[in-house]
Structure 1
Amino acid sequence: MAFSKQRSEQHLIDQEGEQLLRSKLPKHWVMREYRPDYGLDFAVETFKSGEGEGRPGMYETLGEHFFVQLKSIAAPAVLPLSIFGRGNVEKGPEALDRADKVAEVDTYRFQLETSELVTVERMGIGVPVLLVIADLAARRCSFVCLNDYVDKILTPRHADYRNKQSRTIHVPTSNEIGTERGLVALRWYAKRPKLLAAFQRFTYQYSELQWAENGNWRGLAEVFARRIAAYDFWDDTEMCVPIAYDGAGLKRFLATGQPSFFPIPVETPHGVDRAEFENYFKKLDVFELWRQLSLLPKTYEDVWREWFLPTALGHVAS
């Protein structure tokens, strides 16, 4: 007997997983199928509500996106993962301190083809790719950022993670989409492209200011400040205090001419001209703003890229 085209059970599971993920995302975000599919299933675009700006019922795109690789499973196992202390893996291979057990976290364990991981690695870190496990039994969608997983776990852990056909990826169940933690994480990842672009400009501006140290550095600083003040993330990154802190200093500089990080000492050293003394500290104050801005990419690489990863730093910092 001949049969017509058929649907498998996995097709139904995949369909239900997609519906579950869509139900967990904010309803005003847009999730688009990414076709043809070479390891990226969906692209998600974030929007913000106009409610607080007198535009109820309207939603504005933030120009922020991330990719999703969705794996739907009827009833996946959840197993504990022990997390141990380790050093900075950007400076050397992973060396776990087995005497320093930081935590034990529940994770999904998924075998991902190495070819898919290599694809993500080749994309770079600019646009995050999230592996999402749709647990149909628990009605839960949990994620981990594959770009960061490759750089912060697989690469420092293995001499060459590519020498096997697949690798086990641990996805913390606590990274749950639809929760406050999950929303903060997704918003943070979606901002990555614009943050990395801004970080590049900050380091450029700081370098140029140093070249102009004995010239019209203040005029140059004012030009630079107006350029970067236009970024829309200063008041939308409450999950990252240093960015908001530097943004406040930038606003003070534009309003008053000083970011006010360094107060001018009341007493003047003997034999020093007061005006020159004050100008010296005003200059230090302005340069401190750009020094702090130029440190943001370093902190991003050392710390913030481990947020929401199943690592010691990721567990503590997240």
Structure 2
Amino acid sequence: MNRKRRSINQIKEDTSYHVLREKLPESWVIHEYGPDYGIDYVVELFDYIDDKKTMAETLGENFFVQLKASSSIEYATKRVYSRGNIEKGKLTEDKSEFFDIEVAKFQLEMSDLLTVQSMGIAIPVLLILVDVTTRRAFFICLNDYIDKVLAPEDSNYSKKESKTLYIPLRNEILNCEPNLVPLRVYGKRSKMYGAFSKFYYQNNEIKHAIMASYNIREAREFALGMISTFLETAIRQDIWRGHEFWIAIEMSFNDLSWVRRKLEQGIKPEEYEEFLQYCYSNVWNRLANLSNVYEEIVREWFMPTYLSLLTS
């Protein structure tokens, strides 16, 4: 009778987990997701709260992981061309403008991609590819890859058995803060979408309040009170820390801080109209527009695309 045995694939899977564990901060927790139906792990982000690093606190941020291991990854160079806004029309490329980027190629089954597609985009699913020979690990966000690469380039991709993915080598996971920034970006995604929804609602309500308060003092005072409530709700959103990588967030937080200072100083009746209009046009319009910029620009960060190289 044979003794228990382990296949080479099981050994590679164990190796890939240990490589991922050593590439991530020690404070981050890797939760096993259970039976493998396309998702292997959930990574929960923690940060130390003291200088001596004796206690770490959860950030309430996480991302899903599909972990793949290979000892024979094909490395190549992929040429990417300048293209039109794929969110607003079919793919059009300018062959005169291009970059050549180094990538790792990996073939993923369509069932895995369709599973991710069905999950939507609020919780990111990262394919993490581990080269078990060199112990290097690379990531690509599958939700974004589907929308920004697969669908524009092949409208019939879902009918294929599998697709070859191109993972930029600059998407290497290393346990140093600059290389962890992308993972922090993905960890915050669900918070970002929640805040975007809140900002859009607030922006519309401020617009209606301004229209209703024209030359009516009581209505203007009501609008000021509403803005005060909206302000505290907006500042309470847990998206403002750790976003040094996206200046739009810093600018919006500065706008909200300005509104708070003005309210604390007091708004004179003769300043009502100008203040309300400024809040709508310059503060909440910008907040509401964050979702547009996120969709068109941020979701393309770290993709094998021309725009990604320009902006991420």
TM-score, reference length from structure 1: 0.89
C-alpha separation in 2, matches of 1:246 and 1:159:
37
Classify the secondary structure of the residue corresponding to 2:171: coil
C-alpha separation in 1, matches of 2:49 and 2:261:
27
C-alpha separation in 2, matches of 1:275 and 1:232:
33
Does residue 1:154 correspond to 2:150, yes or no? yes
| Cα shift at 1:94 | 1.6
C-alpha separation in 1, matches of 2:107 and 2:72:
15
4+ residue segments displaced more than 4 Å = none
- Matched to 1:98, the amino acid is K
Structure 1: tracts of 5 or more residues without a match: 260-273
Residue of structure 2 aligned with 1:282, choices 261, 275, 279: 275
User: Structure 1 residues 258 and 291 mapped into 2: Cα distance closer, same or farther (>3 Å)?
Assistant: farther
- Matched to 2:38, the amino acid is G
Relative to its length, the structure with more helix (as a share) is: 2
Classify the secondary structure of the residue corresponding to 1:251: helix
1:126 maps to: 122
Deviation per residue, 1:195-227 (Å, 9 max, x gap): 100000000000011111112221111011111
Q: Percent identity?
A: 38
1:204 maps to: 201
| Cα shift at 1:75 | 3.8
| Cα shift at 1:137 | 2.3
Classify the secondary structure of the residue corresponding to 1:142: strand
Does residue 1:64 correspond to 2:83, yes or no? no
- Matched to 2:167, the amino acid is V
Does residue 1:312 correspond to 2:311, yes or no? no
| Cα shift at 1:22 | 0.4
1:100 maps to: 97
C-alpha separation in 2, matches of 1:99 and 1:251:
45
| Cα shift at 1:173 | 1.1
Deviation per residue, 1:209-259 (Å, 9 max, x gap): 111111222111101111121122213211111111111221222233289
Does residue 1:224 correspond to 2:217, yes or no? no
Does residue 1:256 correspond to 2:262, yes or no? yes
C-alpha separation in 2, matches of 1:105 and 1:65:
28
Please tell me whether the aligned partners of residues 258 and 286 of structure 1 are also in contact (alpha carbons under 8 angstroms).
Answer: no
Structure 2: tracts of 5 or more residues without a match: 214-218
Cα RMSD of the aligned pairs, angstroms, is 1.8
Classify the secondary structure of the residue corresponding to 1:51: coil
2:216 maps to: none
Classify the secondary structure of the residue corresponding to 2:114: helix
C-alpha separation in 1, matches of 2:5 and 2:53:
46
| Cα shift at 1:152 | 0.7
C-alpha separation in 2, matches of 1:23 and 1:295:
38
1:11 maps to: 10
Please tell me whether the aligned partners of residues 73 and 106 of structure 2 are also in contact (alpha carbons under 8 angstroms).
Answer: no
- Matched to 1:236, the amino acid is G
| Cα shift at 1:13 | 1.3
Superposition map of 1:40-189 within 5 A: 40-51=39-50, 56-101=53-98, 103-178=99-174, 179-189=176-186
| Cα shift at 1:4 | 4.0
- Matched to 1:309, the amino acid is M
Classify the secondary structure of the residue corresponding to 1:202: helix
Please tell me whether the aligned partners of residues 50 and 59 of structure 1 are also in contact (alpha carbons under 8 angstroms).
Answer: yes
Classify the secondary structure of the residue corresponding to 1:212: helix
1:296 maps to: 290
- Matched to 2:69, the amino acid is S
Classify the secondary structure of the residue corresponding to 2:92: coil
Classify the secondary structure of the residue corresponding to 1:43: strand
| Cα shift at 1:275 | 7.6
Please tell me whether the aligned partners of residues 126 and 141 of structure 2 are also in contact (alpha carbons under 8 angstroms).
Answer: yes
Deviation per residue, 1:74-121 (Å, 9 max, x gap): 2422111111110111112222222211x1111111111111111101
Please tell me whether the aligned partners of residues 74 and 106 of structure 2 are also in contact (alpha carbons under 8 angstroms).
Answer: no
